[in-house]
Amino acid sequence: MSARCALAVLTTLLLLGCETTPKVTTNADPSADLSTYKTFAFFDPLSTDKSSYTSILTTRLKSATQRELENHGLVYDSTAPQLLVNFNVNVQEKTDVQSMPAAGGYYGYRSGLYMGWAGYPQDIQTIHYREGTLAIDLIDAAKRQLVWQGVAVGEIGEKARENQGAAVDKVVAEVLAKYPSAGAAPK
């Protein structure tokens, strides 16, 4: 295997490793005491349902979110919820272009200690991938005001596309692990 092929394989493996852990960020209303919320339901209609029917993605998101919030001690109550849950999902096609000195030194001879510099050939690698964003919004039902939001951003890899249910479960768990009441004993 040439040095150029080995470098391409290594770069690909590093990118595949990145797809397993999305970057999760959160934001909360500083005036809201999140510990006072005990019940939740889902916003109607959810942002993931732009048509007049419930999508499979919405069903999976609701199931995973209900499980995680109940594990945090909240109770599902569709008649008088204190929190309403909404989802926003976005998928974008992305391109990453990387340039690195060509392996093998000066035009392929005297390799080893002599690596190329800006005046010598460069290997350019273009990587196309899908990046997904999931936002889980928790809204104060009485005030109709956002009180907490968790956002996950990451590459959507082949494993996630093949097993969407497990991928949704995993990312929802990672987002809601950041909810301040995480770790509360379930009721």
Query: pLDDT tens digits for 27-36?
Result: 999 999 999 9
Average pLDDT over residues 50-60: 87
Structural contact between residues 24 and 151, judged by C-beta atoms closer than 8 angstroms: yes
Q: What torsion, rounded to 10 degrees, do the Cα atoms 25, 172, 139, 151 define?
A: 20
Average pLDDT over residues 3-21: 40
Per-position b or e across 32-48, b if 16+ CB within 10 A of its CB: beeeebebbbbbeebeb
Predicted confidence at residue 69, as pLDDT, reads: 97
Average pLDDT over residues 10-24: 53
Average pLDDT over residues 43-48: 85
**pTM for this predicted structure:** 0.71
How many Cα atoms within 13 Å fall on the side-chain side of residue 180? 15
Which of 18-27, 118-127, 172-181 ranks highest by mean pLDDT?
A: 172-181
Percent of the chain with pLDDT over 90: 45
Kindly report, residue by residue over 97-118, the tens digit of the pLDDT.
777 666 555 555 555 555 555 5
How many Cα atoms within 13 Å fall on the side-chain side of residue 85? 27
Average pLDDT over residues 3-23: 45
**CATH assignment of 22-94+128-176?**
3.30.160.670
Non-local CB neighbours of 21 within 8 Å, separated by 6+ positions: 154, 174
- What residues does each domain of the chain span? 22-94+128-176
CA angle 20, 129, 179 (to 5 degrees): 40
Predicted confidence at residue 111, as pLDDT, reads: 54
125 vs 63: CA distance, rounded Å: 40
